Structure formats: C-alpha cells, structure tokens
Amino acid sequence: MTERTAPRSAAVVPEAGVALAEPGPPVGEISGRTFVQRGDRIFHGLATGSGAFVVALIGAIGVFLLIQAIPPLLVDHANFLTSREFEAGDPTNLRFGILDLLLVTVEVSVFALLLAMPVGLGIALFLTQYAPRRVARPFGYLVDLLAAVPSIIFGLWGLFVLAPVLQPLAGWLQYHLGSVFLFSPGNVHIDGATLFTAGIVLAVMILPIITAISREVFQRTPRAHIEAALALGATKWEVVRTTVLPFGRSGYISASMLGLGRALGETIALTVILAATPQIFTGSLFDGGATFASKIALAFAELNNNLSAGAFIAAGLVLFVLTFVVNATARAVIARSGAHP
C-alpha cells in the first residue's frame, strides 16, 4: 500500500500542473504557481487548524474535569488516592477514594487485553497471510461488524447468555486454583456478575479494534521482504516470523493499546454485568465491583448537586490521566521497538 500510494500522490502534482498549464503556457505557469501557493497556504492552515483543534479539545476536557473536580476534592474526608470507599451522595460529608475503582478498572481491562491480544494477532495473520483472498475479505467484514454491535447488547448477552455458560469453568477455576488470589472465591453471590465474565465480554469488544489495525499493518509488509525470505527457503511460519511480525510489531502494539483504551473507558456493558458490592476488592477475577466509568453511570441519573457530581468527575479525571499514561507508555514502547527492528 505504501508503495502504491506514494507514486499516486506523486503523479497528482504534475497532472494538476499540466492541466493548469494547458490554457496558456507562459501565463499559466505563473498563475499555476500562485494557485498552488494559495492552495498550499489554505491546506496548511486547515491541517494546522485541525491539529490545534484536537489539542484544544483535549485541553478543554482536561481543564473542565479539573475545574469540576477541585471543589469536591478540597472537602473530601477520605484520602482520594488510597481510600476504598466512595460515598458521594451527601455533599456535606463527601468520602470518596478511587483505589478500588482503579484496581477493578485496570484488572478487568488487562485481563481483557491478555485474552484479546493473541486472538487478534491470530486473526490478523490468518486474514493477511494464510486465508485465500476470497475468504479473507468477507471474514474481515465479519470481524469489523463486531465493532458495530452496541455495547448494551454485549452487556446483556454477557450477563444473560455468557455468564451461565461460564459458570462451570468459573467453578473449576475457583476449586483448583482458588489459592491464587486471582481465582479465589469472590465477594459477590450473583452468579456470573463478576470481573471474569466482564473481562471476556470486553475482550470480544476490543477484538475488532486490534484485528482491524493489525491486519492493515501486516498487509503493508513489503513484498520484497517476503519474497526474499521465500527465496532463502523460509517456510510460511518463518516468513511470518522474520518479515511480517518485525515489520508489524509497532502497529500491533498500538492497536492493542487502542483496544486497552476502549476497555478502560467501556461503560454500559460493565454497568450491566458487574455486581456492586459493599466489600473491598480482593483482586480476584470472581469479585464484583465497579470501574471508573460504570461507577459514574450508576450514579449519573440521580446526581443533583455540583459537589456530588464533582466527586464522580474527579474519578473521571483519574481515568483520563490513566488513559493518557497508557497511551504514552505505548508510544514509548513503539519508539523503542522501532529503534531495533
């Protein structure tokens, strides 16, 4: 694709020049140049404007979150970062901390990512390297369609259909691996309303993101690299390992990070699936709880004063920062892996 687009864009410029030059060669040359310069300026302005707009937008969101979050933080009677309680209903006695929200959010998202990454990689490799073209295209659409399913549907499916099916597996894990904190019996007693179910549903939800981007990247592996590997007698797997994977690694990582961002912010599916619990989060996948986003969604309908709302916005601010950190880390990883291909 890279090779294909590069010559095409190169071809556009002379074509336009020729077209403009046609009416009258001497005058046209000058007017053509001024046209190009003006078009250049306008396009430059538009591009810069778009870039500045998105920065301004993110900045405005950050400032809004900060302004709304500061008043409740000042009257918070609990430690915002280390407290596990979140009592924001009474504006005169706010006690809210984000520790449990943070832990639940991170655990469920990382669990989902661990499930989705290998599967996404497999699908992307299958579609680009193994599947015949006739199969690859419709199959690719199918995966993309997963992204078109509304998240409330994923949530209801997870709670009503998937959770009962997972129950035997969950029981088996708790029985055999219960001594590991991840699989210890949880703190909720509604069957299946756990991080385990939620994580699997999230994995399905982020799969199309990881797959779609990885597929595009793998497709761009230079033909010459692949042919060179084949000429050296490499098998299909060796071709993938020595050319496709190194070439697509940074793309695959950023695809996964985009998926993680989606998982961190997913709201409705988790609101529906996860059971709330007054107990603290033990770290088990069979716990209930709430993520940043689902906590906000649960309280949103009945918020009636700025301080209570601000407490939830403060939680949202932490999610904002968390997503930012995740993306920055991903960039750093990509930059480093790009340095040693």
Partner 1 sequence: MTLQRYGAVLALAAAGALLLSACGSNPNAGASGGSSSAGSPAVDCSGKKNLNAEGSSAQKNAMDVFIQAYQQKCPGSNVAYNPTGSGAGVKQFTAGLVDFGGSDSALNSTNGETTAAAARCQNNPAWNLPMVFGPIALAYNLNGVSNLTLNGEIAAKIFSGQLTMWNDPAIAALNGGVALPAEPIAVVFRSDDSGTTDNFQKYLTAASKGAWTKGAGKKFTGGVGSGAQGSAGVAQAVSSTEGAIAYVELSFAQDNKLGIAKLDSGSGGVALTGDSVGKAIDGAKISGQGNDLVLDLTATYANPPAGSYPLILATYELVCSKGYDAATATAVKAFLTVAATDGQANLPAAGYAKLPATFQQKLLTAIAAIS
Q: Kindly list the residues in this chain that would bind partner 1 in the complex (CB under 8 A).
A: 87, 89-90, 141, 144-145, 148-150, 153, 159-160, 164, 188-191, 193, 271-272, 275-278, 288, 290, 297-299, 301-305
Which CB atom, from 98 or from 193, has the smaller least distance to partner 1?
193
- Which residues lie below 8 Å from residue 2, measured CB to CB, with a gap of 6+? 220, 222
Which CB atom, from 10 or from 148, has the smaller least distance to partner 1?
148
Output Rg (C-alpha) for the chain, integer angstroms.
26
CA distance 266 to 285: 18
CB of 69 to partner 1, least distance (A): 19
Which CB atom, from 87 or from 283, has the smaller least distance to partner 1?
87
Which CB atom, from 144 or from 178, has the smaller least distance to partner 1?
144
CB 215, CB 140: distance < 8 Å: yes
CB of 175 to partner 1, least distance (A): 19
Q: DSSP class of residue 86?
A: E
CB of 42 to partner 1, least distance (A): 26
CB of 4 to partner 1, least distance (A): 14
CB 270, CB 294: distance < 8 Å: yes
CB of 326 to partner 1, least distance (A): 27
Which CB atom, from 159 or from 239, has the smaller least distance to partner 1?
159
Which CB atom, from 146 or from 245, has the smaller least distance to partner 1?
146
Which CB atom, from 15 or from 302, has the smaller least distance to partner 1?
302
Q: How many CB atoms lie within 10 A of CB 235?
A: 10
Intra-chain end-to-end CA distance of the chain, in Å: 20
CB of 127 to partner 1, least distance (A): 14
Residue with tokens 């009257």: 75
Q: Which helix (H) or strand (E) holds 87?
A: strand 86-87
Closest Cα to residue 204, out of 248, 170, 155? 155
CB of 311 to partner 1, least distance (A): 12
CB of 323 to partner 1, least distance (A): 24
CA distance 219 to 129: 8
Amino acid letter, 55: V
Q: How many CB atoms lie within 10 A of CB 192?
A: 21
Burial of 85 (0-12, 13-18, 19+ CB in 10 A): middle
Residue with tokens 């005058």: 27
Which CB atom, from 229 or from 314, has the smaller least distance to partner 1?
314
